């Protein structure tokens, strides 16, 4: 079978505008590829300095780019036109471009940017093609993200994984809503969860998630295509921990329903939220009966752990 051809629609912008560009492009697809080098200097001062690719060191810190990938069969020209109209309406100074990418080439091109990265105190996300020597108490999570993203390098995933360390308990039941490449379910499994359910509306994401689950030998994870949690039977769900790392709009839309799938003592972890929308999201969750117990912020992104009131 021939590989799928995809169109990369890329929006170049000033680094200060990258969050606004992401918000617009999430209307089309929340699987974003973000090229933002504005904080490279800060990373160089930390523990990840030796892991930075030399090409990134020479990048323009004032410019960023956000890309989405659309199958050739799904009217990418129409998508590009919609984005142009929206950016024009908002008065945003951006540059749109597009290029064709073969599925196999796209998956391979990501690899040069992925290095082992630590999230929280114990979890280390390790690309399967990289060598890594674990230290005592490290929890290595092997990842081969394919085109489903969720590699652990983005702030939203790191924030979620760090919160999982605090709330996953031995033999608990965990649900990963919008699981992408399955990283959060795998983290929970390796932290001691008894059972994890990973769901996503994207069949390709579930395919990759299943491969990563097998790669990590996590026999207690079920991966299924689902319209988020709406197709999960709440009577058989009864989860102790839920991770929802998507976008603010989806979390707000899910807020009235997700409590039905959680035990009264459960913890809900949410991320994928820009800080400007944190209070709006928390307000919707409070109205749905949740109380924030821990919040984290990193580079303009927000995550929180909440309990039922």
1-33 tens-digit pLDDT: 456 678 889 999 998 899 899 989 888 877 788
CB 304 within 8 A of CB 274: no
Q: Which helix (H) or strand (E) holds 13?
A: strand 5-14
Of 266 and 88, more confident: 266
Instruction: Please give the pLDDT value at position 136.
Output: 85
The model carries a pTM of: 0.65
Counting Cα atoms < 13 Å in the Cβ hemisphere of 303 gives: 25
| Residue 203, number of CB atoms within 10 A of its CB | 9
Of 63 and 110, more confident: 63
Nearest one of 265, 214, 230 to 222, comparing CA atoms = 214
Q: Which residue is listed with tokens 């929206």?
A: 86
Alpha helices in the chain (DSSP H): 18-25, 40-44, 54-57, 76-90, 103-109, 155-167, 183-190, 203-215, 234-237, 248-258, 278-287
Q: How confident is the model at residue 228 (pLDDT cuts 50, 70, 90)?
A: low
Output b/e per residue, 116-145; b: 16+ Cβ within 10 A. Answer: bbbbbebbbbbbeeeeeeeeeeebbbbbbb
Q: Cα 73–177–129 angle (5° rounding)?
A: 70
- Would you list the DSSP string of 217-285? T-TTEEEEE-STTTTS-HHHH-EEEEEEES-HHHHHHHHHHHGGGEEEEEEEEEEEEEGGGHHHHHHHH
At 152-182, the pLDDT tens digits run 567 888 899 999 999 999 999 999 998 888 9
Of 284 and 144, more confident: 284
Backbone angles phi, psi at 168, to 5 degrees: -75, 125
Residue 41 has pLDDT above 80, yes or no: no
Instruction: Please give the pLDDT value at position 144.
Output: 73
Q: Give strand pairing partners of 111.
A: none
For residue 221, what are its two tokens?
């994870």
Share of the chain above pLDDT 90, in %: 38
Residue 44 has pLDDT above 50, yes or no: no
For residue 151, what are its two tokens?
């590699």
At 265-308, the pLDDT tens digits run 999 999 989 899 999 999 999 999 999 999 999 888 899 999 99
Q: Kindly list the structural domains of the chain, giving each domain's residue range(s) and its CATH number in brackets, ordered by start.
A: 5-109 (3.30.70), 122-308 (3.40.50.150)
Instruction: Please give the pLDDT value at position 75.
Output: 76
- Tell me what the mean pLDDT of segment 99-116 comes to: 67
């Amino acid at each position: 079978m021939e590989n799928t051809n995809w169109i990369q629609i890329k929006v170049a912008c000033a680094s200060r505008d990258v969050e606004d560009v992401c918000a617009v492009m999430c209307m089309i697809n929340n699987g974003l590829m973000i090229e933002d080098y504005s904080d490279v200097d800060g990373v160089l001062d930390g523990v990840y300095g030796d892991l930075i690719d030399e090409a990134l060191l020479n990048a323009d810190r004032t410019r960023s780019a956000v890309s989405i990938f659309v199958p050739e069969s799904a009217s990418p020209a129409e998508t590009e036109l919609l984005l142009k109209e929206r950016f024009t309406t908002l008065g945003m100074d951006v540059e749109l471009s597009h290029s064709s990418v073969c599925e196999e080439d796209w998956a391979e091109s990501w690899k040069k940017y992925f290095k082992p990265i630590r999230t929280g105190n114990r979890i280390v996300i390790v690309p399967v093609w990289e060598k890594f020597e674990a230290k005592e108490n490290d929890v290595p999570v092997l990842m081969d993200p394919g085109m489903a993203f969720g590699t652990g390098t983005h702030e939203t995933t790191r924030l979620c994984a760090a919160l999982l360390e605090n709330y996953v308990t031995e033999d608990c039941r965990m649900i990963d809503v919008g699981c992408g490449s399955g990283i959060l379910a795998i983290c929970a499994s390796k932290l001691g969860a008894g059972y994890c359910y990973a769901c996503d509306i994207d069949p390709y994401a579930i395919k990759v998630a299943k491969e990563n689950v097998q790669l990590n030998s996590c026999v207690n994870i079920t991966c299924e295509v689902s319209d988020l949690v709406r197709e999960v039977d709440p009577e058989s769900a009864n989860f102790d921990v839920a991770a929802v790392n998507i976008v603010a709009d989806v979390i707000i839309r899910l807020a009235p329903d997700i409590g039905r799938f959680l035990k009264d003592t459960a913890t809900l972890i949410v991320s994928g939220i820009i800080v400007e929308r944190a209070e709006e999201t928390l307000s919707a969750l409070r109205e749905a009966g949740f109380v924030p117990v821990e919040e984290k912020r990193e580079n303009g992104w927000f995550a929180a752990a909440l309990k039922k009131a």
